[in-house]
Structures are given as C-alpha cells and as structure tokens.
Amino acid sequence: MNLVILTGAGISAESGLATFRDLGGLWSQVRLEEVATPEAFAADPDRVQGFYNARRAQLHQVAPNPAHEALARLDAAWDRGDFLLVTQNVDDLHERAGSRRLHHMHGELRRARCLACGADSPWQDDIGPDSSCPACGVSGRLRPHVVWFGEIPLGMERIEAALEVCDMFVSIGTSGRVWPAAGFAAAVRRRARTVEINLEASDGASIFHETRHGPAGRLVPQWVEEMLR
C-alpha cells in the first residue's frame, strides 16, 4: 500500500508553534501581503527577514510532539509500499523527530536561498543585509528558503508522482485553504482512500472518505498504531 501523508501547521501546534488561520494565528497578527510575497520582500526586505528570523529563532524553543514522532515511526517501519510525507510546514520538527522520506513543499526556515547564484544552503541564524552565501560568497543577496504566495511550491513533480500511485492519502493539521495542497485529496479520492486528521472539520472535509477530529498529538499516534498492526 503506497502512502502519501500531507501535514500542515496543526501538527506543530502542540509543540508551541502558532498556526496561520486559527484564532490568534499568524495571519491575524501580521498581514500576509506584508511578509509572505515576493512584492513584500522587494518593498521592505528588513521587515520580511525580521518575520522569518523570529520564526527561525523560535525553533530553538520547541521540540517535536507525539504526532511528529509517530509519523517518524511509521516512516521507519513502512515496508508495505511507497511512503512520502509532504509537509507545508517550514519548521524542522518532522526531521528532528526522525522522518526521512520527507518533502518540504513550502521550503524550510533553516535554509537560505541566494538570489545571486541560486544555491540554497543550511542556515541556522538570522539572515541580515551582510549575510553572505556559503556557496558563492556574495553578501546581501540571501532570502528565506520559504515559498511565498505567488511562487510555485517546491518539487511538485515528486509530489504528483507519489499522488498518482498512492493507495492512501492522509491529511493532518491543515485547513485546506491553500492550493495546490488543498486539491490533493480530490485528485486522488477515486483511487485512494482519503483520511483527514484535524482538530476540526477543514474546508475540504467532505471530500475525505474518513475524518477524525481532535488533537494531532493524540489522534496521529493512534492512527499510526492501527497502520502498523
């Protein structure tokens, strides 16, 4: 059985990272047009870097929760078919929990991309106007490795190839409001079993064959135990 799992901000909520669209979420504190578009970066790079620098720094204060850990157990144990964990999250909690077959479709906070040479490199600290690219040495041209609104998510070919052959698609902790991820369940539901695990019914909940509503930290380990039985 080939598995594709999609995660969103809800899986990291119990680790202490804010989601985007819940009450008090990131997009109620700051306008996404001012920090999460190429136009915002062109207009006010310091503000945009500041937003992502703060989120990168916050990663030092959080740790994976039982939902991340359960998905890493499933990754390590799953030998009954293909496995791909696609995350919309830019945090590194899946990899810190031990996930290996993992794809960050919206990029990673702990990487930086160089606008001079195009390379992307691991990056732990703030990105500032004097930061230089580890690959080409040019300074002042690094941007967050995060996909902004209006940009194409990373590795869509890899995701589409996995979706085309998947037998089960599981969506965890995502509101289903951001495309293309919001369309994955509808794209596979004729062939694959589709399952939603989320705190509450997402916008696209009616598309799924099965829905389980409650905190990911409780429901994901339960679901993983069932899969490994």
User: If binding is defined by CB under 6 A, does position 13 make contact with ligand OAD?
Assistant: yes
The residues facing 195 across adjacent strands are 170, 210
User: If binding is defined by CB under 6 A, does position 174 make contact with ligand OAD?
Assistant: yes
Q: Residue 18, class by beta-carbon neighbours within 10 Å (0-12 exposed, 13-18 middle, 19+ buried)?
A: middle
Q: Which two tokens stand for residue 207?
A: 């598309």
In the complex, the smallest distance separating the C-beta of residue 76 from ligand OAD, rounded to whole angstroms, is 22
Sign, CA torsion 123/102/86/200: negative
User: If binding is defined by CB under 6 A, does position 195 make contact with ligand OAD?
Assistant: no
Q: Which two tokens stand for residue 111?
A: 């990487």
User: If binding is defined by CB under 6 A, does position 144 make contact with ligand OAD?
Assistant: no
Secondary structure of residue 160 in the 3-state scheme: helix
User: If binding is defined by CB under 6 A, does position 125 make contact with ligand OAD?
Assistant: no
The span of 2-10, 49-57, 70-78, 156-164 binding ligand OAD (CB under 6 A) equals: 2-10
User: If binding is defined by CB under 6 A, does position 64 make contact with ligand OAD?
Assistant: no
Pick from 153, 170, 173, 175: nearest CA to 209: 170
Question: Does residue 106 have an active-site annotation?
Answer: yes
Question: Which residue, 19 or 49, has its beta carbon nearer to ligand OAD?
Answer: 19
Q: Which two tokens stand for residue 72?
A: 């890493």
The amino acid occupying position 37 is: T
Given the residues 106, 145, 209, 213, the one annotated as active site: 106
Please state whether 33 falls in left (phi above 0), alpha (psi between -120 and 50) or beta.
Answer: alpha
Cβ-closest residue to ligand OAD?
Answer: 10
In the complex, the smallest distance separating the C-beta of residue 2 from ligand OAD, rounded to whole angstroms, is 23
Q: What is the CB-side half-sphere exposure of residue 101 using CA atoms within 13 A? A: 21
User: If binding is defined by CB under 6 A, does position 170 make contact with ligand OAD?
Assistant: no
H or E element that contains 116 = none
Interface with ligand OAD: number of residues (CB under 6 A): 25
Among 47, 80, 177, 191, binds ligand OAD (CB under 6 A): 177
Catalytic site positions: 106
Query: Which residues would be at the binding site for ligand OAD (CB under 6 A)?
Result: 8-10, 13-14, 19-22, 25, 36, 88, 106, 147, 173-175, 177-178, 198-200, 202, 215-216
